Structure 1
Amino acid sequence: MKTITYLKGDATIPQAKGIKIIVHICNDLGGWGKGFVLAISKKWTEPEKAYRKWYRDRANNDFELGAVQLIQVSEELYVGNMIGQQGIKIKKNEVPIRYEAVKQCLEQIAIKAKQLNASIHMPRIGCGLAGGKWKMIEPIITNTLLEKQLDVYVYDFK
């Protein structure tokens, strides 16, 4: 089985050839304005616009925990908005990350990556504002993406 390739650098500048998917965690409240999304919005306007429209029209679409939205931002690059966070604040010692939703999202990303013959790139998803633990996220990546023999790159910002 493949293993995660850990790199120092910026996940918005994927270091691989061919088609690439950058994935990140979004909340289920329609909020976009802190964390890794700021780096995404600095480079491309489409992912934020698509997420906000997806949220606005949620009564008529699949916007919910575990859902994924894939936005093409250039010929060989996509951004995957993944709804893996419930709310935005820690409440009663409960963090916003929802590991089962992250698993559902990554299962969908695996299918899309196989179809596109794409590699997958990410920061340490779910471990910033969402409050998750990497020791919980890493096995989810192993069981959803690596198990499907996909190339996965995780970036630690310098």
Structure 2
Amino acid sequence: MTEIAYVRGDATAPQARGVKIVAHVCNDLGGWGKGFVLALSRRWPEPEAAFRRWHRERAGNDFGLGAAQFVQVEPYVWVANLVGQRGTRTARSTGVPVRYEAIDAALGRLADTAVELGASVHMPRIGCGLAGGSWAKVEPLVLRRLVERGIPVTVYDFGV
């Protein structure tokens, strides 16, 4: 079994040949405006537009915790919007918005799509920024859902 490759760099500029999927965690409120999504939107407008449309039309689709949306942004690059966060953190929040079971389910969908496309997966430490999660809890999910299926995974630590 291979391991996760950890590199310093920008997950929106994946360092690999072939088809690549840039994965990140979104909230279930349809909000897009803080954290890693800002870097995504600076690079490609399509993931934000698709996510907002997906949320707006949620009565007729699969939007919700554990869902995954795949948006092609370049001939060999896709972005995976993974819904793994219940709401957002506010000044009055007492808990964290991360939902590990939702990240796990969304990673399963990501794995199926990565296999189908023959893609590698690139991500920041998903669920550990604004969602407030712990990489010690997310990493085993990434290993089980992706790495154990033979999918190359690179995790990017920006500016570390």
Quick check: TM above 0.5? yes
2:144 corresponds to 1:132:
no
Q: Matched residues in 2 for 1:105 and 1:2: separation?
A: 21
Q: Cα distance, 1:2 vs. partner?
A: 1.2
- Equivalent pairs: percent with the same residue? 55
Match for residue 62 of structure 1? 62
Match for residue 19 of structure 1? 19
Deviations 1:20-73 (A, max 9, x none): 000000000010000000000000010000000000000111000000000000
3-state DSSP class of the match of 1:23? strand
Q: Matched residues in 2 for 1:156 and 1:142: separation?
A: 17
Match for residue 117 of structure 1? 118
Match for residue 103 of structure 1? 104
Q: Matched residues in 2 for 1:16 and 1:148: separation?
A: 18
Match for residue 157 of structure 2? 156
2:28 corresponds to 1:31:
no
Of 146-155 and 83-92, the range deviating more from structure 2:
83-92
3-state DSSP class of the match of 2:136? helix
Match for residue 143 of structure 1? 144
Aligned partner letter, 1:103: D
TM-score scaled by length of structure 2: 0.97
Poorly superposed stretches of 4+, deviation over 6 Å: none
3-state DSSP class of the match of 2:142? helix
Please list every run of 5 or more consecutive structure 1 residues that lacks an aligned counterpart in the other structure.
none
Q: Matched residues in 2 for 1:98 and 1:2: separation?
A: 26
Match for residue 3 of structure 1? 3
Please list every run of 5 or more consecutive structure 2 residues that lacks an aligned counterpart in the other structure.
none
Q: Matched residues in 2 for 1:131 and 1:147: separation?
A: 26
Q: Matched residues in 1 for 2:60 and 2:39: separation?
A: 29
TM-score scaled by length of structure 1: 0.98
